Amino acid sequence: MKLIDLKPGKSVEMSDIHAYKSDVNNGRYIYILAGVHGDEVESIYVLKELLANAELWEKINRPTIVVPIVNVDGYRIGTRTNSHGVDLNRNLPASSWSHVITEPQYHPGLTPLSEPENQFLVSLFQKYPPGIAISLHSWRPILNYNGDCIEVAHFLAERNQYPIAPSIGYATPGSLGDYLPEKYSAPVLTYELPRIGHLRTLRDVWDENKLALTDLLTSDLLNKYCLL
């Protein structure tokens, strides 16, 4: 299949948020996201490498949406939050959303869905209903499943040996993992990659995850999430 450009969203600073859609439409969409946290460069690098693999996308034939960098302003200046200082993964309109600011880096925004980057994501969800989302982050390696996708976590863990967990260890009100299962009955696999450091480069992170991701995307495992 081919991935075609959608009309980009706009960030707080009016930068384009690029998004791509498969030319396959019959079903619910597999979402693949990175850079919800702008400083998580590992997630952005890995999705860029995946996107650059033209042969891979030719082998896939299922409804798909890719957003390579959700928080484009944060990525440009190296911050977790967007230009309003809001954590986009605490600002979605899940029933769990809370105005409480537990730590500055988890600022949820003044109201749910206050941020233009999330408004763009939600507009995509409304137009192209999600069946599952694979959201790439980086912190310490964890395959965190929310909703009914533990088999996806197992499939990946067989290839990258990352631990599987139903929670990252603390509450994440207003997160994608809370929002999509509740609103669309769509599970979310929050795929935490390792951070780079003096012993690990971006290329190492990609090498460690290339097989897991390309095998997943070319397997039949995701088909059931596309069923209407």
The residues that touch Zn ion, with contacts defined as CB under 5 A, are 37, 40, 137
| Pick 107 or 137: Cβ nearer Zn ion | 137
For CA atoms 132, 133, 139, 141, the dihedral sign is positive
* In the complex, minimum distance from the CB of residue 132 to Zn ion, in angstroms, rounded to a whole number: 18
CB nearer to Zn ion: pick between 28 and 40: 40
Q: Are 19 and 50 in contact (CB under 8 A)?
A: no
> Environment class of residue 43 by beta-carbon count within 10 Å: exposed (0-12), middle (13-18) or buried (19+)?
buried
Q: Is 127 exposed, middle or buried (0-12, 13-18, 19+ CB in 10 A)?
A: exposed
Residue (40 or 115) nearer to Zn ion, CB = 40
Q: Which is nearer to Zn ion, 40 or 178 (CB)?
A: 40
Minimum CB distance to Zn ion smaller for 79 or for 218: 79
Return the residue nearest Zn ion (CB atom).
Answer: 137
Nearer to Zn ion by Cβ, of 63 and 68: the residue is 68
CB of residue 98 to Zn ion, shortest distance in Å: 18
Q: Where are the alpha helices (DSSP H) in the chain?
A: 41-52, 54-59, 72-77, 116-127, 150-160, 176-184, 202-218
Q: In angstroms, what is the minimal distance from the CB of 66 to Zn ion?
A: 17
Phi then psi for residue 125, to 5 deg, are -60, -40
CB of 2 to Zn ion, least distance (A): 29
Please, which residues have CB within 8 angstroms of residue 63's CB and are 6 or more apart in sequence? 22, 24, 25, 26, 27, 28, 29, 30, 128, 131, 226
